[in-house]
Amino acid sequence: MKLANPRWGTRIPSTSIIGTCRRLAVALCVVVLFGTIGGARGAGLDTNGGAENPAGKAVAAEASPLKLSESMQRLDASVRLLFNGYMRDPSICLGPDGTYYLTGTTEGQNSIRLWKSKDLKNWEKLDFEWRYGGSPWHKPYKDHGCPLWAPEVHYKKGTFWLTYSMPTYTGEFKDSGSGLLKSTTGKPEGPYADVSPNERLGDEIDASLFEDVDGTLYFVWHCGKIRKLKPDLSGPAEPVRKLHLSVSDPDPSHHSTLCLKIHGANSFDHIGYEGVFLFRIGDTYMLSAADHYDGKYTAWLATSKNIYGPYSARYPAIPNGGHNMYFKDTEGQWWATIFNGPVTEKPAIVPLNIEANGQITLREAK
Per-residue pLDDT of the chain (366 residues; tens, 9 = 90+): 334 444 554 344 443 443 444 444 434 433 333 443 333 333 333 333 333 333 333 333 456 889 999 999 999 999 999 999 999 999 999 999 999 999 999 999 999 999 999 999 999 999 999 999 999 999 999 999 999 999 999 999 999 999 999 999 999 999 999 999 999 999 999 999 999 999 999 999 999 999 999 999 999 999 999 999 999 998 999 999 999 999 999 999 999 999 999 999 999 999 999 999 999 999 999 999 999 999 999 999 999 999 999 999 999 999 999 999 999 999 999 999 999 999 999 999 999 999 999 999 999 987
pLDDT of residue 366: 74
pLDDT of residue 127: 96
CA distance 96 to 238: 30
Q: Does some domain include residue 1?
A: no
CA distance 115 to 103: 7
CATH number for the domain that contains residue 348: 2.115.10.20
Q: 296 burial class (0-12, 13-18, 19+ CB within 10 angstroms)?
A: middle
Q: Does some domain include residue 59?
A: no
For residue 259, give the H/E element and its range.
helix 259-263
Q: Does some domain include residue 55?
A: no
Amino acid at 59: V
pLDDT of residue 15: 38
- 288 bridge partner residues: 277, 301
Q: 33 burial class (0-12, 13-18, 19+ CB within 10 angstroms)?
A: exposed
Q: Does some domain include residue 13?
A: no
pLDDT of residue 64: 81
Q: Does some domain include residue 162?
A: yes
Q: Are 244 and 302 in contact (CB under 8 A)?
A: no
**Domains: count for the chain:** 1
- Residue 208, domain extent: 20-40+67-362
pTM (two decimals): 0.85
Q: Does some domain include residue 10?
A: no
Q: Does some domain include residue 47?
A: no
Q: Does some domain include residue 300?
A: yes
